[in-house]
C-alpha cells in the first residue's frame, strides 16, 4: 500500500465512507482497508476545522498523547505566520527616535541591536564589535 493510498483511505474514512465504498474506489480488498483503519485508529467521523491544516487545507494526522496539530509541516506554519501574524506592540526607539512595531509582551526600548549598542556604548561601538567578532 502506497502513502497516497493511505492518505486517501484516511481522507475518505474521515468523510464518512464505509470500508466497502473505499475498497471500490481504491480497487483493493475491503479487509485491507478495514485492517489499515483499525491499526491506525482511523475513525469514521466528520472532518472538523481542527483536522485541517490552516495554511494548505490538507488533512492532519494527530498523534495520541500530544498537543493537537494546527499545521501539516513547518513550511506551512512559516507561510501562515508570514501572511497573518501582525505585530501587537509599538514603541519609539530611545536612540534613533523612530517608531517601530514588534511581537510579544515585553517592553522594548530599541528598534534594533545596532541602536542598543550605539546608545549604550557610543557611536563607534557597533563597528568595533562587528570587526572583533569576525576575527
DSSP string, 46-113: ---GGGB-TTT-PBP-PPTTSPPPS-SSHHHHHHHHHHH----EEEE-TTT--EEEE-SSS--S-SSH
pLDDT value for 38: 84
> Are 53 and 60 spatial neighbours (Cβ–Cβ below 8 Å)?
yes
Per-residue model confidence as pLDDT tens digits over 11-62: 888 777 888 888 888 899 999 998 888 888 887 765 677 778 888 888 787 7
pLDDT top residue among 124 and 65:
65
pLDDT value for 135: 44
Per-residue model confidence as pLDDT tens digits over 61-71: 777 888 888 99
Domains of the chain, by residue range, sit at 3-83, 89-134
pLDDT top residue among 106 and 129:
106
pLDDT band for 131, please (50, 70, 90 cuts). Answer: very low
pLDDT value for 42: 80
Instruction: Report residue 26 as a C-alpha cell.
Output: 481504491
d(CA 31, CA 129): 68
Amino acid at each position: 500500500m502506497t502513502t497516497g493510498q493511505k492518505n486517501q483511505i484516511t481522507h475518505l474514512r474521515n468523510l464518512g465512507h464505509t470500508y466497502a465504498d473505499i475498497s471500490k474506489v481504491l480497487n483493493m480488498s475491503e479487509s485491507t482497508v478495514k485492517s489499515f483503519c483499525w491499526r491506525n485508529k482511523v475513525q469514521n467521523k466528520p472532518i472538523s476545522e481542527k483536522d485541517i491544516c490552516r495554511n494548505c487545507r490538507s488533512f492532519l494526522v494527530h498523534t495520541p498523547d500530544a498537543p493537537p496539530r494546527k499545521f501539516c509541516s513547518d513550511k506551512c506554519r512559516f507561510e501562515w505566520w508570514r501572511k497573518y501574524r501582525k505585530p501587537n506592540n509599538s514603541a519609539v526607539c530611545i536612540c534613533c527616535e523612530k517608531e517601530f512595531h514588534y511581537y510579544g509582551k515585553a517592553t522594548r526600548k530599541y528598534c534594533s541591536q545596532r541602536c542598543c549598542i550605539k546608545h549604550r556604548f557610543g557611536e563607534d561601538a557597533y563597528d568595533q564589535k562587528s570587526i572583533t567578532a569576525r576575527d
